[in-house]
Structure 1
Amino acid sequence: MSNGSRHSESFDTPPTASVTRSGAASAAPASDAGTTHAGIVLASPPPAAELSDSAVLAPLTAAASTSHPAPPLRWHELLDGTEDALSDQRLLALLLQVFLPPGGASALTGRLLDRFGSLAGVIAAEPCQLRDFPAVPEAAIGFLKAMRAVAVRMARAEVVERRVLDNWDRVIAYLRTTMAHRRVEQLRVLFLDRANAMIADEVLHEGTIDHTPVYPREIVKRALTLDASALIMVHNHPSNQYRPSPSDVAMTETVRQALELVGIVLHDHLIIARRGHSSFRRLGLL
């Protein structure tokens, strides 16, 4: 799904990672190569298997045993108020000062927010980006990544095994949490059963900053394997432009026609960006 104009070429695709109703990660079999749209894309390695809940929580609990136990943590500012009681800068300082010498968090949080734009941007930043700040220790980077994993799982819990079309706002919240801050385009498919409940949530491909490959045959094959009756395609635009490009529209129609031949409905195609999202269905493109 590229906004550029390049010659097309196809490559074999790697296995994909998925989250099924059980919440466990599984591997989908590799499929035959398909047609890329508007670009040459080398197949990326498969995502790592998803960590268990206990593994995600380990960095959070380990924070209590850090070498910088700061007495003036002021947790009461959060405990005695609401989730919005603290500014992004104050909340980030509250989280990071556990890992830093006294007084080290205040200046650092301002620089992090300037670089990444918001608290969500800091938590979604890649470890290599956070390492550009020497004052941020590895333990703090692991802590922030664990925070992100927890946020994604909380959002996912609101949509798994529920009727997706009846919980649309929660679906959008989950997809924005998962995809809006990614640095490269990612193609995700939500596979639905006959009651429109989500039976699998799979990342089929990751691409570049302005393109990800789409293989209609692979999407159809996976939907049949899962006995899905319908699906929702999702991809993100790191450029923050969430309106569909002409290649997005053409590719979506190709997938819709392929699914229709086997009796599977394409409910929607969503584009996710930090500034918002767009729906092909609501735009009249499906």
Structure 2
Amino acid sequence: MDAPDNSDQKLLVEAKLLLEPVTTEASGPACRVRGDTHPLRQVLREAGGVWNSIEQCWIFSGADPAALIATALRSNPDVLAAATSGASRKPHYHGHRQRLRQRFMEAGAPGLADYELLELILFQCIARIDVKPIAKELIATFGSLGGVIAADPARLGENNKLNRATIVHLKSLYALSQRVAHEEIAQKPVLGSWDKLISYLKTALAYEAREQFHILFLNTKNVLIADEVQQIGTVNHTPVYPREVIRRALELGATALILVHNHPSGDPTPSAADIEMTRQIAAAGEKLDITLHDHIIMSKNGHTSFRDIGHI
């Protein structure tokens, strides 16, 4: 390959292309080409470049493709003129999308703010607009990233920037997070995986807008048989009937229970009604050798264990 002359280098600078030589064990010398390459994608392809979607750059084999790229640019003067004038450049948010994806691939989730992670999700469904304001608005509306993906579809639909596909995508991520968290406690003694249990319950319940009452049914080895929703109530009340709880435990062959419900208010402090209902279920279960291990109240601001505070 001929060494590039100064005119080649000036042309690459004019086109705002940055060349980064690299060496790989598999293929030897290569070069990354970065910059605002979208207007020049056809030219770079003709010059022998291959787009790397993971690294978000063009890859050329060989130590220095400057001469090849410069020749291709001179062969396409109209493309070069449009690119350098800005006429064919993508809107500013396209560069932002590329940079944000690159940061995520290099630093992972810890390197991004919550609204930036939400931007990455919205990129998949919303094209041709800047989604940063949408991401920030959603987090402000629902209080957190978890609150966004846990939100009721109807509430998400109140934002006119979110189409049906975007709402389905957000809700599928919520379902996926619940499924993964559940896998961490499935077929394992729950009492020996307490941190994972709390993580699962937080994922499943902490951001729900209405109060839900769940029962975890356990076998003689305290392995989870089932996690069932017993009742769904209003924002601050869920009716629960001890007789129905024990009847369902007998149907499943459960020998132990963990009661769980959420407080949408964010305060996991048990009410007098919570304490009395727990006492009644524990007493009913004791008559049939069904042990109540705990009652856990989940909220977005933490959780409370009845056993830890002496109510069981």
TM-score band by shorter chain is 0.7 to 0.9
Number of the residue aligned with 1:113? 139
| 1:260 pairs with 2:286 | yes
RMSD of aligned Cα (Å) = 1.3
- RCO greater where, 1 or 2, for CA within 8 Å and sep 6 or more? 1
Number of the residue aligned with 1:151? 177
Shift of 1:75: 2.6
Alignment of 1:57-136 (within 5 A): 72-73=97-98, 74-136=100-162
**Larger radius of gyration, structure 1 or 2?**
2
Kindly provide the CA deviation profile for residues 213-254 of structure 1, in whole angstroms up to 9, marking residues without a partner as x: 111111111111111111100011111110111111111101
Q: How many aligned residue pairs are there?
A: 217
The whole-number CA distance in structure 2 between the counterparts of 1:100 and 1:188 is 36
Kindly provide the CA deviation profile for residues 234-279 of structure 1, in whole angstroms up to 9, marking residues without a partner as x: 0111111101111111111011000000001000000011100000
Contact 2:268 2:303 in 1 (8 A): yes
The whole-number CA distance in structure 2 between the counterparts of 1:224 and 1:98 is 46
| 1:276 pairs with 2:302 | yes
Q: Which runs of 5+ in 2 are unaligned?
A: 1-93
Q: Which of 168, 174, 190 does residue 194 from structure 2 map onto?
A: 168
SS at match of 1:248: helix
Query: Which letter does structure 2 place at the counterpart of 1:282?
Result: D
Alignment of 1:218-237 (within 5 A): 218-237=244-263
The whole-number CA distance in structure 1 between the counterparts of 2:216 and 2:276 is 20
Fraction of identical pairs, as percent? 41
Q: Which of 236, 244, 251 does residue 270 from structure 2 map onto?
A: 244
SS at match of 1:228: coil
Q: Which runs of 5+ in 1 are unaligned?
A: 1-69
TM-score by length of 1: 0.73
| 1:184 pairs with 2:210 | yes
The whole-number CA distance in structure 2 between the counterparts of 1:150 and 1:263 is 36
Kindly provide the CA deviation profile for residues 141-198 of structure 1, in whole angstroms up to 9, marking residues without a partner as x: 0000000000000100000111111100100110010001111111100011111111
Contact 2:109 2:117 in 1 (8 A): no
Shift of 1:99: 2.2
Query: Which letter does structure 2 place at the counterpart of 1:110?
Result: K
| 1:207 pairs with 2:233 | yes
The whole-number CA distance in structure 2 between the counterparts of 1:244 and 1:113 is 28
The whole-number CA distance in structure 1 between the counterparts of 2:182 and 2:201 is 9
SS at match of 1:277: strand
Kindly provide the CA deviation profile for residues 108-163 of structure 1, in whole angstroms up to 9, marking residues without a partner as x: 11111111121111111111111111011111000000000000001000001111
Which has more helix, going by share of residues?
A: 2
Shift of 1:83: 2.7
| 1:217 pairs with 2:243 | yes
Task: Identify which range, 113-122 or 272-281, moves more after superposition.
Answer: 113-122
Shift of 1:94: 1.4
Contact 1:194 1:229 in 2 (8 A): yes
Query: Which letter does structure 2 place at the counterpart of 1:279?
Result: S
Shift of 1:90: 1.1
SS at match of 1:75: helix
Contact 1:97 1:104 in 2 (8 A): no
Contact 1:123 1:144 in 2 (8 A): yes
SS at match of 2:111: coil
